[in-house]
Structure 1
Amino acid sequence: MNGGPSGFNNAPVTRTIIIASALFTILFGIRGRSGNIGWSYQDIFKKLQIWKLIVSVFAFLSTPELVFGIYLLYYFRVFERQIGSNKYSVFILFSVFAALLLEVLALKLLKDPSLTVQTSGPYGLIFSSFIPFYFDIPVSTRFRVFSLHFSDKTFIYLAGLQLLLSSWKKSLFPGICGILAGSLYRLNVLHVRRIKFPEFITSFFSRLSWPFMGSTSPTAPARNIPGSTPFHAGRQVEGNYPASLSSTIEPPEDSVATLVSMGFERNSARQALIHARNDINAATNILLESQSH
């Protein structure tokens, strides 16, 4: 389970967020200020240290948090590929601002001394991403260790749990607020899922060149399939994939069954697998993107 093709193809916004997180974390770590970038209610509303709030969106407090955080951000690039960079930018801003707002309100109401200073890092974005991960990403592999049952999704959950508990209450609290923010986005509060930015904003990220991180593919995303039309879970609207795909090797029956068990119509699942060259994760992305239209 790798979130689709390797690298940052069709995920320029994710690439920018990861680079910014790494640079901010390293910069403040080198300057010996990593312990001072956690923000508190007093810092923002009494001392007006807004820079702490801005830095907290990107910089992690420690190297272990950075490693697990970047790993999760890199995996969750699958969502940018599903809905496109424009809508994913909306998801990022909504998640970050909603999570921060929930944190500020909760800190004001709870007045818990142990929560005076919050940890730093893109916790709102990371943990809001667990909502679509839970609902929209299928299990493609299951296995047992002794008498315990696991799946390929287990490793993502374990990485998230490690990050969530990295600073105990100081990281648990923003993580929970991130999960709530992701839930609000999924519920389409204020019709946020309909919002789109002007194209020049998201195209800015596409024009950024980071040779050492890999380049964005100039081709159209796999979700824009010539000759295909949207279909919803359980029923196909109309239209088929290009006829030339019919000569491709027939998808494995267990892969088709996995997609059907998620509620997709059998023929649609088969066609998506053919187009994705029997990659079940890529096929799921195609089906989920079709649902979003």
Structure 2
Amino acid sequence: MNAGPSGFHNAPVTRTFVIASALLSVLLSHSLRLGLTYEDIFKNFRFWRLIVSTLAFSSTPELMFGLYLLYYFRVFERQIGSNKHSVFIVFSMIVSLLLEILALTYLLADPSLNMLVSGPYGLIFASFVPFYFDIPVSSRFTIFSLQLSDKSFIYLAGLQLLFSSWKWSLIPGICGVLAGSLYRLNAFGIHRVKFPDAFMSSLSRFPRLSGNSMQTSSSGNNIGSIPSYPGHQVETLQRNNIFPTGVADQEPSDSAVATLVSMGFDSASARLALVQARNDVNIATNILLEAQAH
């Protein structure tokens, strides 16, 4: 399943997080015993392990599946913008971490559950909540009489990661789903929270380890954000009469907009193109691609 253009196009926050997680996993997995334990938090007061346990994977298979899912879920940053996505990341990781600590506290009677697996399980499985509700199915197919969709491969990768360490990874995964559900329900009014522009601009100074250019979002962009051709593309649509002004109003469907945004187009241009295309995603895609060519 494709999450849009290859690389981290329009997804600088995800790019920074993936690079940080990969580096920490490689550097620490062979020198430290990674994992979250009750003793480290409440007896030895090793609070630095809280940060490590939410970023670094403890094994190579978990690292591979985890980075793949993080890379795919960059689609959400393209949909809601880097600022909102940063809030989602911080909220999901903090809430899931608190739930994991709570789980460790109540599972002390079982010595086999005194450690939880390390890695950003909270963020990954929190992302499955908007993935389930907001990402439309674009194709369906049958394998051995089993009905599948293009989303099935993402679910299979998630299941592999969820049960990679059995009960030690199952609990962090469940905590992540709960955190994602709380975000979707707008717990504590989280949808209104935004980070300062200075914080977002600091991401642009993260070392560039790939050929993709780093871009930051504007503080007022709430829907489609960090576009590489936002207003420019809309103006191109209108200037070349690809999307003339005065087109009859026809509100495009949210699923169609989400499909175009997942392909890398910004929300504003996607809506304009869908109105011109009478909500036909294929025609709207051609309109946007033609606008890019001008």
CA distance, structure 2, for counterparts of residue 198 and residue 217 of structure 1:
16
Gaps of at least 5 residues in structure 1 are 229-240, 248-255, 280-293
1:196-215 equivalences in 2 (<5 Å): 196-212=194-210, 214-215=212-213
Gaps of at least 5 residues in structure 2 are 218-225, 245-252, 260-270, 289-294
Corresponding residue number in structure 2 for 1:237: none
CA distance, structure 2, for counterparts of residue 50 and residue 196 of structure 1:
26
1:139-154 equivalences in 2 (<5 Å): 139-154=137-152
Contact 2:36 2:115 in 1 (8 A): yes
CA distance, structure 2, for counterparts of residue 269 and residue 205 of structure 1:
36
1:109-258 equivalences in 2 (<5 Å): 109-111=106-108, 112-212=110-210, 214-216=212-214, 221=227, 224-225=230-231, 242=238, 244-246=241-243
Contact 1:226 1:242 in 2 (8 A): no
Q: From the superposition, tell whether residues 268 and 150 of structure 1 become closer, same or farther in structure 2 (CA, over 3 Å).
A: farther
Letter paired with 1:22: A
CA distance, structure 2, for counterparts of residue 268 and residue 93 of structure 1:
38
Corresponding residue number in structure 2 for 1:99: 96
CA distance, structure 1, for counterparts of residue 228 and residue 135 of structure 2:
17
Letter paired with 1:38: G
Choose the corresponding residue for 1:49, options 42, 46, 50: 46
Match of 2:286, SS state, is coil
Corresponding residue number in structure 2 for 1:277: 286
Letter paired with 2:157: A
Corresponding residue number in structure 1 for 2:70: 73
Contact 2:12 2:216 in 1 (8 A): no
Q: From the superposition, tell whether residues 223 and 276 of structure 1 become closer, same or farther in structure 2 (CA, over 3 Å).
A: farther
Q: What percent of counterpart residues are identical?
A: 58
CA distance, structure 2, for counterparts of residue 96 and residue 218 of structure 1:
22
Greater Cα shift, 50-59 or 127-136: 50-59
**1:130 shift after superposition:** 0.2
In the alignment, is residue 11 of structure 1 matched against residue 11 of structure 2?
A: yes
Contact 1:245 1:275 in 2 (8 A): no
Contact 2:200 2:216 in 1 (8 A): no
CA distance, structure 2, for counterparts of residue 181 and residue 268 of structure 1:
38
Q: From the superposition, tell whether residues 212 and 161 of structure 1 become closer, same or farther in structure 2 (CA, over 3 Å).
A: same
Contact 1:119 1:170 in 2 (8 A): yes
1:85-96 equivalences in 2 (<5 Å): 85-96=82-93
Contact 1:114 1:169 in 2 (8 A): no
Q: From the superposition, tell whether residues 169 and 278 of structure 1 become closer, same or farther in structure 2 (CA, over 3 Å).
A: farther
Question: How many residue pairs were aligned?
Answer: 252
Q: From the superposition, tell whether residues 151 and 222 of structure 1 become closer, same or farther in structure 2 (CA, over 3 Å).
A: farther
Q: From the superposition, tell whether residues 271 and 216 of structure 1 become closer, same or farther in structure 2 (CA, over 3 Å).
A: farther
CA distance, structure 2, for counterparts of residue 172 and residue 213 of structure 1:
36
Q: For residues 248-292 of structure 1, what are the alpha-carbon distances to aligned partners after superposition, in whole Å with 9 as ceiling and x for unaligned?
A: xxxxxxxx9x849x9xx984874583554379xxxxxxxxxxxxx
Structure-2-length-normalised TM-score:
0.77
